[in-house]
A and B are shown apart, each in its own frame.
Chain A
Amino acid sequence: MNEILGHFNYGIVILLMMMGLYIVIASSNLIKKLIGISVFQVSVFILYITFGKITGGNPPIIVDNVDVYSNPLPHVLILTAIVVGVATTSVGLALIVRIREAYGSTDEDDINDIDKNDNFYLKNRSTT
């Protein structure tokens, strides 16, 4: 029983990761894909933090008469990873705004169709 309870958190976090990945692959809307990627990243952060936890341990802030601290290293890594995630999301959203203005739509399949007849048009354009 203790084995299953110990791994319960990991199971749920993996389920979250897979839902995030599913959103990225299944949705054809560009913004929905970005939200899927953010969900995927946040669930990886939760996985990292569940490593660092000690049951009965205190947050890694030194207080007298306490000696069991949970591990500070995953927290440092995740602070870096959160900022990386926000940076990627903001660049992605800027790209989507530009794509919307250039193509007129934020749907992956519409954009692929417009690309296809762009290529066709460019290929047999007579040279100047």
Chain B
Amino acid sequence: MSDKSTAALAHQFDDPEQQLEASTLGMWAFLATEILFFGGMFAAYAVYRLAYPQAFAAASNHLDILLGTVNTAVLIASSLTMVLAVYSAQFAGRRAQVTFLLATLLLGTIFLSIKGVEYAHKFHEHLVPGAGFRFDGADPRHAAIFFSLYFAMTGLHALHMVIGAGLLIALTVMSWRGRFSAVYYTPVEMVALYWHFVDVIWIFLFPLLYLIGRH
């Protein structure tokens, strides 16, 4: 085994396989907690959408479906570049790893900036719940709940993206120093799992928030 990998082996593990397996299991257990963390809001969404369908449909039509679709495509693309980064950590050299990691980071920032545009748009249209909320549709009180959930869900999702971006930056630095090889690529795999999970959450957020009562 090359000395690089044994150097990266933590003292409590016996061999790199055990370390990778343990880290993967740990990350998936963490993702289970994240599923339930967002799950609480999905439960609130489900209850209120069943109770006030018109208000949710009217409010959802205020969201920009084009930006939503583009954003979904951007995030899926970032998932692709992320998985290619893991691929290149195993099979290709530092140059490929760094390019794919930076591509993922770039796509992530594009997603966040599009999100920023949408938030600014909502702010100008007085659709931010709270004192300044003005909604001319049928049932403003329950439309305000839709927007509360919209901002809570997409806000927490964006926060997870920012954390992901931070992890990607750290990963790029480690990759630039050549820390990863076919035998030791655990950190890349872990950040990839986290990033793909954030993409999966958006895959559900997009139809639930943007595509109600469009017909």
A and B interact physically: no
B→A interface (CB under 8 Å): none
